[in-house]
Amino acid sequence: MLVESLGTSLLVGKVRGGKFSNISSGEIRGWYFIISSFIVEFSAVYLASKGVKIVTDGISFIHLLSYILLFIGLFMNFDKYPFWIITAGVFLNFLVIMANGGQMPISIEALESLGLLDNAAAIANGRIITHTPLVDSTKLKFLSDILAMPKFYPRPKVYSIGDVLMAIGVFIYMQHLMLGKDGKFKKRQMDSRA
């Protein structure tokens, strides 16, 4: 949902009189931790697809490392309140993933309802290590990937409550950047310390 959130925010920001050039003024501290988190995640997916057993066996530890890096990067930006919302969403996803062996449970029925049959089959057969089928024994089901985009949407997908919160946080942050309000985050922080 982050792609949709980013695209929508850019469009709304422009309609509200914001400027794309203002985005470059945004300062994300610890961005290298966030990038490293995604590198760990995507590397694990790639290596698992090549049959590297140590990766498939250690997915819970790999996911944990990825989230630790991500949390560090997010915490370094807590002077900007949209990052609180993003972190809340990340934490909800982290909870359900760690509670289910390091994999995000996903509704196979929801995938099939969107026509994503190949994805559903791949997850059901264990070929996608980041996800696992939602079953009766799944813990924290309500935090799993159970929400489906409408069928008419051109990019069908199944997502979680955590994904929604992250998308909201990204949307708000982009609005502040485009409208030139990013400096207010720092001003609020300075006022609160005064």
pTM, entire model: 0.87
Q: Is 134 a member of any domain?
A: yes
pLDDT tens-place values along the chain, 194 residues long: 778 888 888 888 888 888 877 888 788 999 999 999 999 999 998 998 888 889 988 989 999 999 999 999 999 999 999 999 999 999 999 999 999 999 999 999 999 999 999 999 999 998 888 999 999 999 999 999 999 988 778 888 999 999 999 999 999 999 988 888 765 555 455 455 44
Residue 37 belongs to what domain range? 2-9+30-186
Task: Answer whether residue 192 is part of any domain.
Answer: no
Ramachandran category for residue 150: left, alpha or beta (phi over 0 → left; psi -120 to 50 → alpha): beta
Measured in degrees and rounded to the nearest 5, phi and psi for residue 143 equal -95, 0
Asked if residue 25 belongs to a domain, the reply is no
Question: Per the structure, how many domains does the chain have?
Answer: 1
